[in-house]
Chain A
Amino acid sequence: MDQLFTTYLGDLLAGLWMTVRLTAVAFLGSLVVGTAIAACRVSPILPLRAFGRLYVELFVNIPLISLLVVVTFGLPDIGITFDLFTCAALSMILLGAAFTCEAIRTGINAVSVGQVEAARSIGLDFFGVLRFVLFPQAFRSVIQPIVNVFIGILLSSSLAGVIGVKDLTLQVSEINNEAALGLTTYLLAAVAYVVISLLAGGLGARLEQRLRVRR
């Protein structure tokens, strides 16, 4: 137990920092790419729609480890190499974007058709409909699913350890291979994950509360 705090505390904190960094980069990247893919999927341009559909179908169904391995160990075969962090972040963004896209699309479809038809009938154009009617309503119903995507990305960041990115989970495992510290380190790490998830959930709930329509 003493050894945990004298020798390994730095490693644990470094792992936690890596996990936070990786999750933040992957989440923000997923938001950007996911929104773009969602735009493709609702656009009137057929090839873009097909591309969006294919993208989501592909990356919702591929296991992250499989993608990580392709990006990290496969791509060098065709002369493309990144450092490990980039490999992990890239894979997580590719996957996260597919889930983000689905969350956003669900939000758009949660607004009833009548709303859009009413907006169009009073003469709003496409962007007017999006800006004044659709997005304000869709955004509210999308918060909870996006929080779920964030938590999913947080938990999946542990898999980056598989390709050697020293995140919290990998650090804990390595510490225990070196010095058997029992379950304490695992529980500490678990608490860290739970706390981050709870924080994200709480933040989402507050945001939802603040944006709620008061009728």
Chain B
Amino acid sequence: MSTQDSLFDAAGPRARRRIRILTVLSLVVIACLVWAVLLRFGQAGQLAADRWAEFTQGPYLLFLLAGLGNTVAAAAASAVLALPLGLLLALGRLSSRTPLRRLSTGWIEFFRSVPLLLVVYIFVSGLPQYGINPDIFWKLVIPITLCSSAVMAEIFRAGIIALPAGQSEAGMSVGLSQSQLMRSIVLPQAVRIVVPSMVAQLVVLLKDTTLGYAVSYPELMKTSNNLTAYTNHLIQTYLIIAAVYVVTNVLISHLARYLERRMSGRPARIAQEALEVGIG
């Protein structure tokens, strides 16, 4: 039972009646809202079947699927690069060597408080001035990697800190060196702890790839934009694409929650402040 559920008494007859009335009332209001939206669509002629049916046709689907493929490619590449980088940064920040610790801390704090789009623009129009001009795919993936490595580092660090001190103490007492301790005692457990948070972080990565829209990397968002230039069915396309993102992300976050539930019982709670707010 959580606190929010203990706020109310078991309702008596009068409260029950009031709740019933409010329930009906709120249902009516919600129904009215839905009806108003549909009416608006209908009046503008946007509910016509042919405006929606085209998304069941092969060529359109294939066109969008290609975009989805590019989205997945960018997200996967960023994840594969950001994970090890984040782990190294976390170890750096926890290291006892001062320069290394300062460098990692500075890196993490900088990339956590700079907008991803700014970093993308640095790669798109800043660095080419110095002759650094990689493929557009990398101009998107490298900034995402840089920014999310900072977040992942914080998650790894939280996982390492969350381990009971007895673990490292036991390791030291049997004479393990610092690096042996990390390799065979701390990391294997810390990594297990952070798996749910890392999976949840995939949602943020997937959202980040939509910045491809700003720099014309043909991921799902940009592809749908190209499609509307051809079909001119703007609201249908954009709503469907939004739905695709929402469904995908809901599935990923449910997987994360499932993993977290499975691990509960272990010290699976990670300091809340490490969890980044992935607006964007």
Contact = CB atoms under 8 A, between A and B. Distances in A.
Interface in A41-89: 41-42, 44-48, 51, 57-58, 60-67, 69-70, 73-80
B277 interface: yes
A44 B117 CA distance: 42
A56 B112 CA distance: 24
B7 A116 contact: yes
A183 B127 CA distance: 8
Is chain B's interface secondary structure helix, strand, loop, or mixed overall? helix
Interface stretch (B169-177, B181-189, B238-246): B238-246
Given A74-B239, A149-B277, A169 B7 contact: no
Contact of B279 (A95, A117, A126, A180): A95
B250 A57 contact: yes
B30 A66 contact: no
B114 interface: yes
B267 interface: no
Interface stretch (B54-62, B86-94, B157-165, B207-215): B207-215
Contact of B272 (A60, A79, A145, A153): A145
A162 B210 CA distance: 11
B279 A182 contact: no
Given A44-B19, A161-B214, A162-B213, A78 B26 contact: no
A19 B6 CA distance: 41
Given A106-B272, A109-B4, A116-B6, A99 B245 contact: no
B129 interface: yes
Contacts of A66: 210, 221, 238, 241-242, 245
Contacts of B276: 148, 152
Contact of A63 (B43, B125, B221): B221
A177 B114 CA distance: 21
Contacts, number: 202
Contact of B9 (A74, A95, A120): A120
A198 B7 contact: no
Given A74-B234, A197-B113, A180 B242 contact: no
Given A61-B250, A78-B41, A153 B279 contact: yes
B44 interface: yes
A139 interface: no
Interface string B80-114: 00000000000000000000000000000110111
Nearest to B41: A78
Given A69-B238, A78-B235, A183 B210 contact: no
Contact of A73 (B3, B7, B44, B234): B234
Interface in A156-186: 156-159, 161-162, 169, 172-173, 176-177, 180, 182-183, 186
Interface of A: 41-42, 44-48, 51, 57-58, 60-67, 69-70, 73-80, 92, 95-96, 99, 105-106, 108-113, 115-117, 120, 126, 129-130, 134, 144-145, 148-149, 151-159, 161-162, 169, 172-173, 176-177, 180, 182-183, 186, 189-190, 193-194, 197-198
7 contacts: A42-B7, A66-B245, A70-B235, A77-B234, A162-B213, A172-B121, A197-B113
Task: List the 3 closest pairs (A to B, CB-CB), nearest first.
Answer: A158-B115, A152-B277, A61-B249
